[in-house]
Amino acid sequence: MTDTQAATIPGPAPASDREPLLKVTGLTRHFPIRGGLLRRQTGAVRAVDGIDFSVNAGETLGVVGESGCGKSTMGRLVTRLDEPTGGKIEFEGTDITHLSVGAMRPLRRDIQMIFQDPYSSLNPRHTVGTIVGAPFRLQGVQPEGGVKKAVQELLELCGLSPEHYNRYPHEFSGGQRQRIGIARALALKPKMIIADEPVSALDVSIQAQVVNLLDDLQQELGLTYLIIAHDLSVVRHVSDRVAVMYLGKIVEIADRDALYRSPMHPYTNALMSAVPVPDPRRRQRAGRERILLTGDVPSPINPPSGCRFRTRCWKAQDVCATQEPPLTALATGHQVACHFPENAPAGAPEATAS
């Protein structure tokens, strides 16, 4: 049996058999707004405002939501590329929330990030060999057979030719550049990868190839993914569980199939209704009409009281303005932050909200 075969995982293990690799509790990130002659703080942008979730070893958690909801900021916080304002981040049981740069350096081997834009995330002055080999030099790792051999193996693993070692990023297409970024993230054999919109900047014809590559790498190397995206079809294809964010908060978390089959938060329902269906008759048979949300997304500087979605929600009542709904686990396996969830079974918060 080869090393590659030994690392192969037949498929995701049941959730009950897996231990949380990443656990986030009450995570917040407020960006201060300063003004006046003395540059005093006059407010704050609540980009991430108290979120809780966990990611089990070997699974993929997809995070969806419209632009500006705090998805990318959350990804940068988890990888400690940005400093949290509050809350707690645990990786393999270790609190990494406020670790210094030096203390965080060894953990960089286990947590890597794939960035959204394959054009700006690669240094145009460096060759592919220098870019993919950078993690080895930064961590002082000398792979067996040398850095060049290791880089060429990574390129081949990601669907590129080993002969690309001496080429520059401008010689590659967008999909190839993203493969280079993926190879760089895999260099130190991480346990977890945060992928921030990994295919949104690519042509639709290339997106499926990159998504399938990520899926194959997970099966072969036993990776754990946190994939941030706004394309619901991509998230459905790659995720085991899905978290839905709105204005700095997580409003629903559920297994992929349960979420797409029976979404419970009104905002999730609105997102699902916007997924295009090529055949109008199929949409009619499914009984799902497009939900058009009224009004604009509130400002994260001054979010609404109570439930943040209430200003655009067709089910909002007085309690929604005065009480913020907690993220509550239901018998169906969903976690929903709503006083009046849709598709809710008897005994759900809808029955007790009044």
pLDDT of residue 29 exceeding 70: yes
Per-residue pLDDT tens over the stretch 278-296: 766 665 555 567 788 887 8
Distance between CA 123 and CA 187 in Å, rounded?
Answer: 17
Average of pLDDT values for 49-58? 94
Give pLDDT, residue 9. Answer: 37
Instruction: Give the dihedral sign, CA 283/287/293/299.
Output: negative
DSSP code of 171? G
Q: How many CB atoms lie within 10 A of CB 21?
A: 21
Distance between CA 143 and CA 98 in Å, rounded?
Answer: 30
Start-end of H helices in the chain: 3-7, 71-78, 101-104, 128-139, 147-157, 174-186, 204-221, 232-238, 256-261, 266-273, 280-286, 318-322, 349-352
Contacts of 64 (CB under 8 A, 6+ apart): 71, 229, 230, 232, 235, 242, 243, 244, 245, 271
Average of pLDDT values for 331-340? 89
Distance between CA 30 and CA 297 in Å, rounded?
Answer: 18
Average of pLDDT values for 65-85? 93
94-95/86-91 β-pairing: antiparallel
Mean pLDDT, rounded, of the chain:
87
Per-residue pLDDT tens over the stretch 91-141: 999 999 999 989 999 899 999 999 988 888 999 999 999 999 999 999 999
Distance between CA 220 and CA 10 in Å, rounded?
Answer: 8
Q: How many CB atoms lie within 10 A of CB 189?
A: 14
The band of 352, judged by pLDDT with boundaries at 50, 70 and 90, is very low
CA–CA distances in Å: residue 352 to residues 35, 72, 214, 217, 349: 45, 35, 43, 45, 5
Give pLDDT, residue 11. Answer: 43
Give pLDDT, residue 346. Answer: 54
* Helix or strand run (H / E) with residue 125: none
Find tokens 């809780």 and name the residue: 52
The band of 204, judged by pLDDT with boundaries at 50, 70 and 90, is confident
In three-state secondary structure terms, 134 is: helix
Q: For 44, how many CA atoms within 13 A lie in the half-sphere containing its CB? A: 11
Distance between CA 323 and CA 319 in Å, rounded?
Answer: 6
Helix, strand, coil share (%) of the chain residues, nearest 5: 35, 20, 40
Per-residue pLDDT tens over the stretch 293-333: 887 889 999 999 999 999 999 989 999 999 999 999 987 78
Per-residue pLDDT tens over the stretch 215-230: 999 999 999 999 999 8
DSSP code of 337? -
Give the closest residue to 196 by CA, choosing from 209, 185, 212: 185
Give the closest residue to 80 by CA, choosing from 50, 56, 113: 113
DSSP code of 66? -
Contacts of 232 (CB under 8 A, 6+ apart): 64, 271, 272, 275
CB 264 within 8 A of CB 338: yes
**Choice between 27 and 13, residue whose per-residue pLDDT is larger:** 27
Report the Cα–Cα distance between both ends of the chain, in Å, rounded: 61
Please report how the helices 174-186 and 204-221 are oriented relative to each other, as an axis angle in degrees rounded to 10. 20
